[in-house]
Structure 1
Amino acid sequence: MSFPPLDTALPAGADAREHALMLRRVHEASLTGRPAPAPLRPVIEDSWGRMRGFGIDPDSAPPPRVARVDELQRNRDASPIAAVLPLIRRSLVSVADEADHIMLVADSAGQVLWREGSHRMRSVGDRVGLVEGAYWNEGSTGTNAIGTALVVGRPVQVYSAEHFVRSLHTLTCACAPIHDPRDGRLLGAIDVTGPVSTIHPATLALVSAVAQLAEAHLQGIHHTHLERLRSVAAPLLAGMSERALVVDDAGWTAAAVHMEPVRRVLLPTQRDTGTAWLPALGECALEPLPGGWLVRPRPERESGGATVTLDLTRSAPTVAVAGASGEWTHRLTPRHAELLLLLAGHREGRTGAQLSQAVFGAGGHVVTVRAELSRLRRHLGGIIESRPYRFSEEVLVRVVAPPAPTDLLPGSVAPGVRDLREALRSGDRSVALRDLLAT
């Protein structure tokens, strides 16, 4: 696997002291409105623009908020990074200590959860608020490696006067975010901070490598857990004649019988033994297992009684499915909103060619239509049927439309949507439109 080159703070061949002096002149010029002697790196320039939007004062910024000890401990216990903390310590703490640096681990909100390293640098950190429990997101402390890396989602090095707040100009920091290898979710970041005189391009490469190692270790932990869950569930699944999945507490599939396994099931936040409507599966029975859940999808004929509400009154359309087991809402892409609106207006169903004509004005885009509907059906299990594509007869469909016909998916140029707008504008109340609208 190849990775893009890292954007280090010190240009190749530049003298660190002279570069720091130049950055201070750039900082001063930027604050006073004078022409800058050199351009900032784009990642820093963009961050400074955010600082102006936040209204952060570079000369008298308040110290970062520090969480109470009990809050800090709760966040430590909840952080997935805790599972790889020993690996991070082995990789960085001795290096940081010898180089007169400190190693910090923050969560996705920028709160420093752990801090270790040089005694002298810990004293410096105490003076600027770089302590355990402190929030070092950009909105709290201005441009800094932790906060900026969390915003841009990639490794960042911040040197001297690239920090927006002057009190941080004596520091150099390198930080790399850690993402959940399962779904890309941001978990937090690893940072190494030291005196401005110790800047080195290799520091960013080291921190980035450790973050990648931590992600790989998290992936291994997850695979081990799924293997253990699979072994526990094997005797149970062997005796089942119906469709079933075994998933972990986060919904990741460990095993399946009599069905194509989905990669992940979106479990309800509050769950217990009983029934729930799940995206991609429809109505399901849930039973707890050690370390996970047994999920048994009900036959589609038993998934009726649900109400599907297509809300087109917002800039970001949504579809909600509600039934006896609760309600689930999904945000729609513009194309998916068009397709659901067209299907809602034709409960008898539409073929791929008919939808291609209604969406693109030509029948040659059937493959694209099928691909988009396949993605939709992964979310709306038991609700959208095929051959032809249609809403299930057992569900009630409501469309909440804006009062003005011209505001019905105003960004859409699909011929079928334009026809609906025109029908609404002219007052046409055909059977399809009468069944469609819930305004």
Structure 2
Amino acid sequence: MPVGTDPRRHARVLAQVHEAALTGASPCAQPRPVIGASWQRMRRLGLDPDHGADGLLLSHAELEARRRESGLADALPILRGGLISVAEEAAHIMVVVDREGSVLWRDGSTSVRHRADRLGFTEGASWHENNVGTNAIGTALVARRAMQVYSAEHYVRSHHAWTCAAAPLHDPRDGRLLGVVDLSGPAPTVHATTLALVDAVAKLAEARLRNTHLAELEKLRSTTLTVLSRVGGRALITDPHGWVAAASGLGAIDRVGLPSSTSAGSAWLPSLGACHLEPVPGGWLVRLTDDEAVPGESMRAVLDIRSSPACVLTVTGPSGTWSYPLSPRHAEMLYVLASHRDGRSAAQLALDLFGDPARTVTVRAEMSRLRRQLGTILSRRPYRFADDIDVALRKPDSAELVLPHSTAPAIRGT
């Protein structure tokens, strides 16, 4: 909600806009673009604007399993420390969901929790857009950015009495979306600073996860340096995600792309070439070999963007198959390159992504990061997939569902 706006008047205008959108009448104003796009998704889905869709409630055992698997447990102390006191004082609840939208934890105001119970907003419930329509949690999972949804911006009418602010949480090891943290409460309690607070606490929680990961890398380094010292030639130690704990005979490398199903033996890694992998406690010993053969013909790259939270590039070649999870920005860049096999210059990519051909510094920096991970999969001058690689693009049937978080002109057609 814009700063300085009267909440009650704004809620009345939103209600009129919502009704017009559902009935096809001429609206008195337009919803925010991110809200309008979400409403369009809900109409295509055929979601009931009065009741939403029935969703299965996770059993206690399923809920506990989701909590363990979510990767969010280490972030809870920061989230609770930063938001619970605010939630209780401001008549809100703090909610943490996983990447699928399932509510894992809920704390805060007792009275608001009772109101949430009547709405089905409980632990184990799904708060994905497909089940409850446009809302800060579900829409943040799709848009991949912090979201505040107020009153009639919610697609389902029974949610119009609520205000919600949510921010995504990412795994620092691979950029994977872990879930969302949210503050929700009665619509009259809306405040312009709530979204900034939630986003700031989410970033603190991600920093906590990053520090935990760095501590794990340091432990791996200390326990495997003896192993590395006995290896002749070029070698490195990585954790299961490819982050480098220690290296010998190589320049500075932060991370290497490991095969999707890592196993001991020979492998070809995009940033290193031919290697031999051996398991060590907590990770892998990667030894570069003298084999000069570089997979070329018979290599196939599949860019799968059918699931916005889990875009991935999978490459199959003579040495097997490996996958690289993509950040939102890298998914956009590879989508453009897959759509333009003849390649794009830095200025063209800047125009494709930002609508500004002058932003070449940003483009070159991001492409440098990508090429460090993907090696000879990508070529430059112009930027493109290597000519000897067969590229397949798997995307949603509807253009609106192609990277729905993106505002890039090349993707949104603007």
TM-score normalised to structure 1 length? 0.70
1:87 to 1:218, Cα distance in 2 relative to 1, 3 A: same
Matched, 1:300 2:295: no
C-alpha change, 1:380 and 1:203, in structure 2 (3 Å) is closer
Matching residue of 1:52: 43
- In structure 2, the partner of 1:184 is 175
Say whether the 8 Å CA contact 1:115–1:132 is kept in structure 2.
Answer: yes
The CA distance in 1 between the partners of 2:197 and 2:375, in whole Å, is: 44
Structure 2 residue aligned with 1:309, among 288, 298, 303? 298
User: Residue by residue, what CA displacement relative to the aligned partner does 1:384-431 show, whole Å, maximum 9, x if unpaired?
Assistant: 99xxxxxxxxxxx89799xxxxxxxxxxxxxxxxxxxxxxxxxxxxxx
Distance 2:118 2:368 in 1: 57
Q: Check whether the contact 1:157–1:175 (CA below 8 A) recurs between aligned residues.
A: yes
User: Deviation at 1:300?
Assistant: 2.3
Q: Is the 8 A contact 2:82 2:201 kept in 1?
A: yes
Matched residue, 1:204: 195
Q: Secondary structure at the match of 1:201?
A: coil
Q: Could you tell me whether the CA contact under 8 Å between 1:244 and 1:257 is conserved in 2?
A: yes
Matched, 1:326 2:320: yes
Distance in 1, Cα, partners of 2:200 & 2:245: 29
Post-superposition CA distance 1:308-339 (Å, at most 9, x none)? 315599999x995533x533478893499558
8 Å contact kept, 1:243–1:258: yes
Alignment gaps of 5+ in structure 1: 1-8, 340-367, 386-396, 402-439
Moved more, 133-142 or 61-70: 61-70
Question: Cα RMSD (Å) of the superposition?
Answer: 3.4
Alignment check: 8 A CA contact 1:65 1:140 kept: no
Residues 260, 322 of structure 2: 8 Å contact kept: no
Which has the bigger relative contact order, CA under 8 A and spacing at least 6?
2
Residue 33 (structure 2) pairs with residue 33 (structure 1): no
The change in CA–CA distance for 1:257 and 1:214 in structure 2 (over 3 A counts) is: same
User: Counterparts of 2:281 and 2:193 in 1: how far apart (Å)?
Assistant: 45
Contact 2:94–2:106 (CA<8 Å) still a contact in 1? yes
**Residue pair 1:174, 1:207 contacting (<8 A) in 2 also:** yes
1:379 corresponds to which of 374, 379, 390: 374
- Cα distance in 1 for partners of 2:302, 2:37 equals 33
Q: Which residue of 2 aligns with 1:17?
A: 8
- Residues 334, 12 of structure 1: alpha-carbon distance in 2 compared, 3 angstrom cutoff: closer
Deviations 1:85-130 (A, max 9, x none): 1111111112212222110011122111111111221121122121
User: Once structures 1 and 2 are overlaid, which stretch shifts more, 174-183 or 191-200?
Assistant: 174-183
CA distance in 2, matches of 1:234, 1:100: 52
Q: Distance between the aligned counterparts of 2:104 and 2:370, measured in 1?
A: 38
| Residues 329 and 83 of structure 1: CA distance in aligned 2, closer, same or farther (over 3 Å) | closer
Change (3 A) 1:29 1:320: closer
CA distance in 2, matches of 1:153, 1:384: 26
Q: Corresponding residue for 1:244? A: 235
CA distance in 2, matches of 1:188, 1:315: 20
Q: Distance in 2 between matches of 1:275 and 1:129?
A: 52
**1:314/1:215 CA distance change after superposition, 3 Å:** closer
1:184 Cα deviation (Å)? 3.2
* Counterpart position of 1:64: 55
Alpha-carbon distance between aligned partners in 1 of 2:162 and 2:390, rounded to the nearest angstrom? 56
* 1:229 corresponds to: 220
Alignment check: 8 A CA contact 2:165 2:183 kept = yes
Question: CA distance change for structure 1 residues 70 and 283 in 2, over 3 Å: closer, same or farther?
Answer: farther
Name the % identity.
47
State how far apart, in whole Å, the 1-side matches of 2:278 and 2:298 are: 28
Q: How does 1:233-382 map to 2 (within 5 A)?
A: 233-301=224-292, 303=293, 308-310=297-299, 320-323=315-318, 325-328=319-322, 333-334=337-338, 337-338=341-342, 379=374
State the alpha-carbon separation in 2 of the partners of residues 172 and 144 from structure 1: 9
Match of 1:347 in 2: none
8 Å Cα contact 1:63-1:129 kept in structure 2: no
**Measured at CA, do residues 97 and 313 of structure 1 come closer, stay the same or move farther in structure 2, by a change above 3 Å?**
closer
Change (3 A) 1:198 1:263: same
| Superposed counterparts of 1:143-158, under 5 Å | 143-158=134-149
Secondary structure class of the residue paired with 1:294? strand
Counterpart among 25, 50, 64 of residue 73 in structure 1: 64
Paired residues in the alignment total 347
Equivalent of residue 80 in structure 2, options 59, 75, 89: 89
1:69–1:375 distance in 2 versus 1, CA, 3 Å: closer
Distance 1:231 1:119 in 2: 47
Checking the alignment, whether the CA contact within 8 Å between 2:258 and 2:322 is kept in structure 1 is no
CA distance in 2, matches of 1:160, 1:384: 46
Question: Bigger shift: 244-253 or 58-67?
Answer: 58-67
1:308, 1:320 within 8 Å by CA — same for their partners in 2? no
CA–CA distance in structure 1, aligned partners of residues 3 and 391 of structure 2: 58
> Rg larger in 1 or in 2?
1
